[in-house]
Amino acid sequence: MRRFTSICIGVFFLLGTAGFAQVNKDPYTYYLGFSLKPQSMGTQMVSYFLLKYHGSEFKSSRPITRESFILQIMGLEDSPANPEHVDWFEVYEVKYCKLVYLDSAMNKKDYQCPLITQLWKLRYEDNPFFTENGDDREPGWGKKMENGMQMPSPGQMAILRKYGIKNWFDVIKGEDMYRLLHDLCDDQWIARYQAAR
């Protein structure tokens, strides 16, 4: 009888913990992403996000800083979009983004990632935060429309649609984003994008 009671208690314990594990399992999928639409506050011309989905249904987005975006992609900052701390720049061979210094005792990290700081070029013909004196003009790859708005041309949008967006202000996320970042390391890809009308 004691043995039967012990077995029953063990079975109930296992069922209880299995049920508890299922209840606590996060049903959501998280992605990192960016939009060519500027943040509503500040001087960043690109917005960075942590996105939450349930299956294919969008649930929420949380704005994050450019630094946090880079560190989460590199696996150097905790992220539900990168729980295994994978360096996705390395996986997708994004050669212009790399860790250059890590001191875990002092919790200091330094990285080089000029590619991310130049994502604005996909939308703008000229950097709108540079002054007009000409010496410090920094050209982008986007086009200036007749109404003065800077955005990707129709031909450039056709290229960007291959990365999962419909409009220039949509969020490019997940694997599509990593493929775009990889392609941005290719000078020929950039030349094709610049030439697209």
The tens digit of pLDDT for each residue in 131-142 reads: 555 556 788 999
The tens digit of pLDDT for each residue in 36-77 reads: 998 776 668 899 999 999 999 999 999 999 999 999 999 999
Q: What pLDDT is stored for residue 21 in this prediction?
A: 39
Where do runs of H (alpha helix) occur along 25-167?
A: 66-74, 88-91, 114-117, 154-160
Under a CB-based contact definition with an 8 Å cutoff, are residues 125 and 150 in contact?
yes
Query: What is the distance between the terminal CA atoms of the chain, rounded to a whole angstrom?
Result: 82
Q: What pLDDT is stored for residue 112 in this prediction?
A: 83
CA pair distance 11, 21, nearest whole angstrom:
15
The tens digit of pLDDT for each residue in 125-182 reads: 988 777 555 556 788 999 988 888 899 999 999 999 999 999 999 999 999 999 999 9
From 118, 94, 194, select the one nearest 153 (Cα to Cα): 194
Domain ranges of the chain: 29-195
How far is CA 121 from each of CA 91, 117, 193, rounded to the nearest angstrom? 24, 9, 10
